[in-house]
Amino acid sequence: MYVVRLFVYGVWVAHLFMADGYDQPDHEKWGELAAKQILEEYPDYKLVTYSYEGEHAISTMRNQYTYTMAVKKGGEEKIVNVYVLMNPQTEKPVDVYFDEMEREAAYGDSFH
């Protein structure tokens, strides 16, 4: 599992690891969209952790990229699965879905 931990202080960093000649993996590109969308869905929260869970081909017209993200406001933290659906033929996003998880049921104490 690929895990990136981000501590975002009110500002989303648009490009991770950007350097000349860096070819951004697809999961990072779609992860940026997922992070942007989660901050729109939870506007008063800050993104505190980000985990890429994997890619799944649903059909020739749909791939799903799955991320687990934690957002926090004060002492309240929410764990949210974010699903980015994209069309692999056009490389365009189709939709973004959110599924708020119960922390203990989904991860116990392993997701920080």
Quick: pLDDT tens for 18-56. Answer: 445 567 788 899 999 999 999 999 999 999 999 999 999
- CATH number of the domain to which 45 belongs: 3.10.450.390
Name the pLDDT band for 16 (thresholds 50, 70, 90): very low
pLDDT of residue 103: 63
In a domain, 66, yes or no: yes
C-beta atoms surrounding 110 within 10 Å? 6
pLDDT of residue 7: 38
pLDDT of residue 3: 40
For the residues 61-71, what does the mean pLDDT come to?
A: 97
pLDDT exceeds 70 at position 108: no
In a domain, 44, yes or no: yes
pLDDT of residue 24: 79
In a domain, 112, yes or no: no
pLDDT of residue 21: 57
H helix runs in 12-68, sequence order: 26-41
pLDDT of residue 9: 34
Please count the structural domains in the chain.
Answer: 1
In a domain, 65, yes or no: yes
In a domain, 17, yes or no: no
Percent of the chain, pLDDT > 90?
66
Segments of 1-112 assigned E as strands: 2-4, 46-59, 62-73, 76-87, 92-101
Structure tokens at 53: 């869970």
Phi, psi angle pair for 43, to nearest 5°: -65, -25
pLDDT of residue 15: 44
Domain of 27, in residue numbers:
2-8+23-107
